[in-house]
Amino acid sequence: MKWWITVLPIVLIALVLNFRKSNSTVNPNFQGNGIVLKTFQNYYESVKLACKEYPKIPESYILALIGLECSGRKIVPHRFENHIYAQLKKVKKGQKRYFENIVQKDLMGKNERELRELASSWGPFQIMGYKSIAMNIDLDGLDNQDRIINGISWISENYGIYLEQGKYQDAFHLHNTGKPYPKIGKPFTFRNNYVSDGLSLMDSFQNLILQIQ
């Protein structure tokens, strides 16, 4: 057993007090402290190992993203997105030339079940299934034993430069919407507190990592 597992509850008490003290604007429905504990216990070792291959991507960001997207659960339900399904179906039928980087030949031979799987988000990062085509991996690569390294690889490829520059607000917004945080107006995320909750989680994970090093 790792030694930090023994001291983790004590460290988390301090984090809970700090989280409540410094994050009064956090969504009241956001159970940040429980998410920190669950995510850290379920994912820290695999995130730490994977991030060794991507040293410019902070472990604390990856853990925070997992906390945001799946609340740290080991078994993550797939989430079907009907509007994505509609776009993919149009591409397959030739009614639309492309959707992002997906063209008709990518979908040829896909049955209804497979098309719905491509239109669902997968794994702890909730990456859309159709992204696996450009990643050149099987769909289950988003939700099997390689899901952390595959997810970090996708993050590095798509918006890693923002993480390298410390632009974490943009990075969280990019993961959820595909666009940097807007310079004017509200965020485009599915809930308004997504980015602020992510930044708060990132601080908590960073403090926890420092405590156990």
pLDDT tens per residue, range 169-199 = 999 999 999 999 999 988 999 888 999 999 9
Q: Are 17 and 32 within 8 A, CB to CB?
A: no
pLDDT band at 17 (very low <50, low <70, confident <90, very high): very low
In terms of Cβ atoms closer than 10 Å to its own Cβ (0-12, 13-18, 19+), residue 30 is: buried
Give pLDDT, residue 34.
Answer: 85
Model confidence, pTM: 0.84
Instruction: Using the predicted structure, report yes or no on whether residue 24 has a pLDDT greater than 50.
Output: no
pLDDT at 150 over 50: yes
pLDDT computed for residue 6 by the predictor: 52
